[in-house]
Structure 1
């Protein structure tokens, strides 16, 4: 593996590992027995809301000032957030820095995918990058559970250390290999004879306004709105389970067992994504199959956690392949794909928060089963 790949790949592994290392220990981060489920959900969701709100503006900024600068900013913010989360026990501080960690994610991914797309072996590199992305997610929850006996934040500290090493690589000459030209495509294309107009063109506000107008038209005048809604529902229900399962399973799962169960979902997602990508099925059937598997996993989570998380991961991995295929049939542009991804982060961010409002009334099991039934309502949505 060459140095530029090592730099980018180690960064995505550390970033994703740190993002998921909080999941098995959410009750402890929220204050243990004195903490509330709402606080747990906010700490979990803060990351995804930060990513959701920052993906578009920071993606545009990467085009303006260069991918490498934005990637460096994203990893520095990730490492800083991990450092604060490691040493702070104040739930409000944890929530704020989880949000900032999500902003770091929002800075990293648009710029990273832009860099990968320009490499000669882009298809192979994208496959390797996505493999390590999911491997980081799996490692985060697994080692968080396994290492909890040595200290509740041992895994967070470990992935923060890895993030710091990635920052050093990115700031060194190794980082310069990622973006030898220094700027993104859009910045180099923007030319103007007028200095005033040039200055206006570099402003993010007009471009963000244009993006919002275009987003509204795309969502309401095409099938993308339905696909976006399905992705919100899928990730909202599975995110709700992930955010609350540590509390729910405290009486019958140890931290290592919980970490193993959740990490299995990411391994299953890796496997099902490969199978769905090669399967000779209509994308609608792939989406439906994925939804059935994910809903079945949520149903089984109250009795069979290992099987449940395997089915949730397998269903989510397959459904996303089908949904991305559906998006590409409407519009294969980066804009459309970016808009689709905001649905994923919206679901992960909002699902646990909304669920926490009903938890006191319904209880864990009823809430989980209700979310599975809600997910199955997707079958009433017709994709063209």
Structure 2
């Protein structure tokens, strides 16, 4: 692995590991046995995703305006700072604010990172490797947070904060400069429309924002981007609905360790499938379809075979996202468009469980799960050129 990839890959591993290291210890961070623990747990959990969702598009635009490397550096610095505060503060409100800012750091990092990778000659393979380590970070964050909780509930948070800090040092060094298009021109290509936006850096902000709105409308309605975005919402909305409600659904037949094992299997599958999907010589449209089929199979099997179900769901998500990002990069590799794409992922994760919860009481878990699988199947009929 070359130094350029090591710098970017280590950053995504640290960022994702820190984001998930909080999840197993949410009750303790929220105040233990206090009466407001449920409210603060929700704040700590949701704050990250809200911060990322709100930051993705504006910071994707900023990446086009000032350069991907600067925005990636900002994202990782904000992530490391947030991790430091979370590691040493015990005030729930402060923890909630910095979880939100950690999400903003995530929103800064991903559009710029995907934009950089999309310009590499081996972009599909690199996307697979990148998503492998992305899911590896998520799995490591959950696993080590639980394993090290006996030494202190924030041991894993502190460890991943240190990793994030080391990644910042790499990004700020000469190694980070390798990610800059200016220092690696032979791997960099930019369309005329993206160049025109880049050349507007000296103009007023309002006309530039207007040009981005026009570009967004054109991207959504005059290309296949709208279909790609909708598929990502469906994929992450339906699988997020299952993940958010499975603990309650499985309470009668799964122990906590068994549930943890099943969830870990989903991350492991996503790691392996991302790596494989990035290396196979298969059309990206078929990669997306294969991911949808795997995820649907996982949702259906969740009522009987949870371990296999979560493995298939993780494999489906890891496979599909490689194909989806490849499809987006054929339309545009700008930070703005990559940020717009990522809003679909976070919109699905944020809205899917909320919308689905309205149907749980009248219809029950299994009916809602099956219904979501049928809805996800409609993604197979979307024609992406």
TM-score using structure 2 length: 0.77
1:264 alignment partner in structure 2: 265
1:145 alignment partner in structure 2: 146
1:375 alignment partner in structure 2: 376
Distance in 2 (alpha carbons) for counterparts of 1:340 and 1:237: 17
Superposition pairs of residues 217-232 of structure 1, within 5 angstroms = 217-232=218-233
1:168 alignment partner in structure 2: 169
Structure 2 unaligned spans of 5+: none
1:200 alignment partner in structure 2: 203
Cα displacement (A) at 1:311: 0.8
2:215 alignment partner in structure 1: 214
2:20 matches 1:17: no
2:78 alignment partner in structure 1: 77
Change beyond 3 A, Cα 1:328–1:6: closer
Change beyond 3 A, Cα 1:73–1:338: closer
Distance in 2 (alpha carbons) for counterparts of 1:3 and 1:142: 28
Distance in 2 (alpha carbons) for counterparts of 1:44 and 1:313: 21
2:302 matches 1:301: yes
Superposition pairs of residues 253-332 of structure 1, within 5 angstroms = 257-276=258-277, 286-324=287-325, 327=328, 331-332=331-332
Change beyond 3 A, Cα 1:233–1:15: same
Distance in 1 (alpha carbons) for counterparts of 2:101 and 2:353: 18
Change beyond 3 A, Cα 1:308–1:87: farther
Distance in 1 (alpha carbons) for counterparts of 2:183 and 2:283: 41
Superposition pairs of residues 24-39 of structure 1, within 5 angstroms = 24-26=24-26, 29=29
The superposition leaves residues 87-111 of structure 1 with CA deviations (integer Å, 9 ceiling, x where unpaired) of 4556554443322112101222333
Indicate if the aligned counterparts of 1:143 and 1:259 stay in contact, CA closer than 8 A: no
TM-score using structure 1 length: 0.77
Change beyond 3 A, Cα 1:356–1:21: farther
2:85 matches 1:102: no
The superposition leaves residues 209-236 of structure 1 with CA deviations (integer Å, 9 ceiling, x where unpaired) of 3222322233234443233212101101
Distance in 2 (alpha carbons) for counterparts of 1:288 and 1:122: 20
Distance in 2 (alpha carbons) for counterparts of 1:74 and 1:376: 35
Change beyond 3 A, Cα 1:348–1:37: farther
CA RMSD in angstroms, aligned pairs only = 4.1
Distance in 2 (alpha carbons) for counterparts of 1:230 and 1:236: 10
2:341 alignment partner in structure 1: 340
Change beyond 3 A, Cα 1:178–1:375: closer
Indicate if the aligned counterparts of 2:265 and 2:307 stay in contact, CA closer than 8 A: yes
Structure 1 counterpart SS, 2:148? helix
1:195 alignment partner in structure 2: none
The superposition leaves residues 299-333 of structure 1 with CA deviations (integer Å, 9 ceiling, x where unpaired) of 3334433212101011222333444455567x254
1:236 alignment partner in structure 2: 237
Structure 1 unaligned spans of 5+: 193-197
Cα displacement (A) at 1:170: 3.4
Change beyond 3 A, Cα 1:3–1:58: same
Indicate if the aligned counterparts of 1:239 and 1:351 stay in contact, CA closer than 8 A: yes
